[in-house]
Amino acid sequence: MRVFVGRSEGPESEDTGNVPVGARITLDQDLEAGRVGRVRFRGAMWDAVSEDSIHAGSDAEITGVDRDNRSCLKIKVVTRV
């Protein structure tokens, strides 16, 4: 496994690494508001945080990565259409 440790050039607001903002995921477990939880993305488990509580089975959208912990996804709940 390779791990990149460092910073990319450019504004931090645009630095999401290789995480596609807008990608959708379905939560396997509940995620409490403001607390780091675990989600499955691209076949691997990732840390994730949300401003709102999200229940297991709900769809969520990746909105970015945490500025202090680059391996922690920021997500928000989305409604199914």
Q: In 3D, which of 79, 66, 72, 75 has the Cα closest to residue 12? A: 66
Residue 14: inside a domain: no
Question: How far apart are the two ends of the chain, measured CA to CA in Å?
Answer: 37
Q: How many structural domains does the chain have?
A: 1
**28-62 pLDDT, tens digit each:** 999 999 999 999 998 899 999 999 999 999 999 99
What lies within 8 Å, CB to CB, of 52 at 6+ separation is 33, 76, 77
- Residue-level pLDDT at 17: 64
Q: Which domain holds residue 49?
A: 30-78
Residue 41: inside a domain: yes
> Percent helix, strand, coil in the chain (nearest 5)?
5, 35, 60
* Cα angle, residue 73 at apex, residues 49 and 20 outer, rounded to 5°: 145
Residue 20: inside a domain: no
